[in-house]
Structure 1
């Protein structure tokens, strides 16, 4: 592996569809607000960043994929596309939490504590708490799915907490969860660009896997992921 990993990052877990590619330290990216069109948009966006960087999939060292939580359909699209791209070249893959990617975006904008909250429908939210460690979003505790009123903050409520995600639009009362709340609208949806640094760190920590071990995270346990036929 080269010192600077060539990483392709994909995310379709929410309303936005995003792709990012890092080649020799340069980043090429696309993002589109395209609900219900992710399956049509993702591969052309991948082709576009590869063409812009003047590389092919064979030049990629690692594929980072949005593993959820988020839309069940969006997670399935992202994991299926990752399988298809990684399989032929036997590329390693690494799953990046949707919530962590959003927190990373907020931290890159100056946040030190972040509460991410995605509307999960059914009167629930997906949520996670993060602190910045050396500029990297670090999960405090676990990711959760719960009713909005069941969120229990363990962050320092005497300090500013940045909040992001569609959960705060669906349940605006959450903006009163602590006395020093700062909304971060730029991180309402995850962007694959923020996944690059998380993938680099995860790779260094040995968190990457083969494509056969690709693992989406729904948080709700009512959905079962099925691998490609013959690869169970």
Structure 2
């Protein structure tokens, strides 16, 4: 009987770094660490630990799933860049999975919510675009699972996906950082 495809899922869209490895529907290994910063330095070593725990290597992966948000601007960029780079170097597809898709893995009709700044949440009704609402208006919405479970859900959604476009961040609002006020430096060409 042929072995089932190995699918890696990971997420850095919030204050965590998480990865999970699936063989078909079976979870082989998962790890998550709470962290406010440092995900860029920790993600690849964490993935290597998950692969080693499961007794597999990079070359055995069939597909990658990464969390695309909404969430932390820099965290999302870390996850997407890592997935694109790994997919290119390994010659396998990478799939972007939104937090809403991961939440809806168990219940496709769930009202999905993701915490947002300033006492608000991003709320996504099935078939509708996400909207920003006050947290108290979220009602009985489902919020993201713990980080290790989130990584598992991302891998499961990626395994079922037919997507063939590289993952891209899901930004629902502009970044908090403001562009610089100073004029850019003048570049002098002495050649």
**Equivalent in the alignment of 2:80:** 79
Bigger radius of gyration:
2
**Equivalent in the alignment of 2:188:** none
Q: Find the aligned partners of 2:77 and 2:19 in 1 and give their Cα distance.
A: 16
Tell me, what secondary structure is at the counterpart of 1:30? Answer: strand
Q: Which has the higher contact order (CA 8 A, sep 6+)?
A: 2
Contact 2:103/2:142 (8 A) holds in 1: no
So what's the TM-score if we normalise by structure 1? Answer: 0.64
Contact 1:124/1:145 (8 A) holds in 2: no
CA RMSD of the aligned region, Å?
Answer: 2.8
Contact 2:67/2:99 (8 A) holds in 1: yes
**Equivalent in the alignment of 2:145:** 187
**Equivalent in the alignment of 2:137:** 174
State the 1:78 CA deviation.
0.3
Contact 2:113/2:142 (8 A) holds in 1: no
Q: How does 1:111-190 map onto structure 2 within 5 Å?
A: 114-121=110-117, 124-129=120-125, 140-148=126-134, 171=135, 173-174=136-137, 177=139, 181=140, 187=145
How many residue pairs match? The answer is: 173
Contact 1:95/1:214 (8 A) holds in 2: yes
Unpaired stretches in structure 2, ≥5 consecutive residues: 177-191
Unpaired stretches in structure 1, ≥5 consecutive residues: 130-139, 149-170, 224-232
Contact 1:11/1:65 (8 A) holds in 2: yes
Q: Find the aligned partners of 2:29 and 2:113 in 1 and give their Cα distance.
A: 27
So what's the TM-score if we normalise by structure 2? Answer: 0.76
